[in-house]
């Protein structure tokens, strides 16, 4: 059953689901997709890493446990006997998995890798991987994600400075990790500056970049709805894929501002993008 308007949608209690062919799914073979009908009020694919992928790093379990339970000052000593045996992927997993528990320890893992592992110099000599990306850049990107989730602005600035000193050129994935931090904190000026720097470096923003821009513009008590809607229109014009949650955020912002016409326009754009009401999902809009 399709809803013809946002008001009917709000009253009948429909959620959102997207009609898409399985051939267009970006999910790789080592991942699985399941539908979510949780409190997010959106039924969208969730990517779950298969157990076989994570089983590659079970040898790190005792080391991870020790790093998480220890002070960051103890990290170099704990890692010392492991250094000759750790691969580049092992180091990246350690940075990522220690980070949620202790960002400072995660930072120390990174610096131990940089200062003590012979792999760092080897990576500098081999600048790119087979897919054209830099292993060192991937390591910095992982670290930025960790620091961003923990709101460590000063440390993020320090990491960026180091990259500039080492002439490490960022890519769109790195910038998206950085822009996610700005978006989550509603730092619109930093978001625009990040986009400016991307374009100056010849890096083309992708759909995630633009969605992060929309998230950042909607942050706070008085979001710039006109600017945000124009950003959404730009995405649609360029035929970038837009997630249901992005539409949801803008619809809710219009609804909260009592701008029903704006909510109607965004709801129409949502339907035209292939999303349809789903009775199994919960209400998209808050109660009036």
pLDDT over 60 (residue 140): yes
Q: Could you give the C-alpha distances from 270 to 3, 217, 267, in angstroms and in order?
A: 11, 19, 5
What one-character-per-residue DSSP string does 70-83 give?
S-GGGHHHHHGGGG
* pTM, to two decimals: 0.70
pLDDT at 127 (0 to 100): 56
User: Averaging pLDDT over each range in 78-87, 204-213, 234-243, which range is the top one?
Assistant: 78-87
Instruction: Note the pLDDT of residue 280.
Output: 39
Q: For residue 39, what pLDDT band results from cuts at 50, 70 and 90? A: very low
Residue 205 pLDDT = 84
Q: What is the full DSSP assignment across 137-175?
A: HHHHHHHHHHHHHTT-HHHHHHHHHHHHHTTPPP-HHHH
Cβ-contact 130, 116 below 8 angstroms: no
Residue 56: pLDDT band (50, 70, 90) is confident
Q: Please, what is the average pLDDT of the chain?
A: 78
Better pLDDT: 186 or 257: 257
Enumerate residues 6+ apart whose C-beta is below 8 A from 154.
Answer: none
The confidence score (pLDDT) of residue 238 equals 78
Provide the pLDDT confidence category of residue 50 given band limits of 50, 70 and 90: very low
- Bridge partners, residue 34, by sequence: 46
Q: Where are the domains of the chain?
A: 45-169
């Amino acid at each position: 059953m399709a809803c013809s308007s946002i008001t009917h949608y709000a009253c009948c209690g429909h959620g959102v689901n997207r009609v898409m062919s399985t051939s267009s799914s970006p999910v790789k073979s080592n991942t699985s997709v399941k539908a979510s009908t949780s409190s997010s009020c959106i039924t969208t694919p969730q990517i779950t890493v298969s157990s076989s992928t994570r089983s590659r790093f079970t040898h790190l379990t005792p080391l991870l446990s020790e790093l998480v339970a220890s002070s960051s000052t103890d990290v170099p000593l704990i890692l010392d006997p492991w250094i000759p045996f750790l691969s580049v992927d092992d180091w990246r997993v350690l940075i990522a998995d220690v980070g949620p528990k202790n960002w400072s320890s995660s930072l120390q893992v990174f610096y131990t890798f940089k200062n003590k592992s012979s792999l760092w110099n080897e990576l500098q000599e081999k600048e790119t991987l087979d897919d054209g990306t830099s292993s060192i850049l991937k390591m910095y990107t992982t670290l930025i994600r960790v620091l961003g989730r923990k709101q460590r602005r000063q440390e993020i600035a320090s990491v960026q400075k180091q990259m500039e000193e080492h002439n490490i050129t960022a890519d769109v994935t790195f910038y998206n990790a950085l822009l996610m931090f700005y978006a989550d904190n509603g730092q619109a000026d930093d978001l625009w500056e990040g986009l400016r720097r991307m374009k100056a470096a010849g890096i083309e923003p992708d759909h995630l970049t633009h969605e992060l821009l929309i998230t950042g513009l909607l942050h706070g008590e008085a979001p710039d709805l006109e600017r945000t809607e124009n950003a959404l229109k730009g995405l649609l014009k360029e035929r970038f894929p837009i997630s249901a949650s992005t539409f949801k955020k803008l619809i809710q912002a219009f609804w909260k501002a009592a701008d029903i016409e704006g909510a109607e326009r965004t709801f129409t754009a949502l339907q035209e993008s292939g999303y349809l009401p789903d009775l199994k999902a919960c209400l998209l809009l808050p109660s009036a």
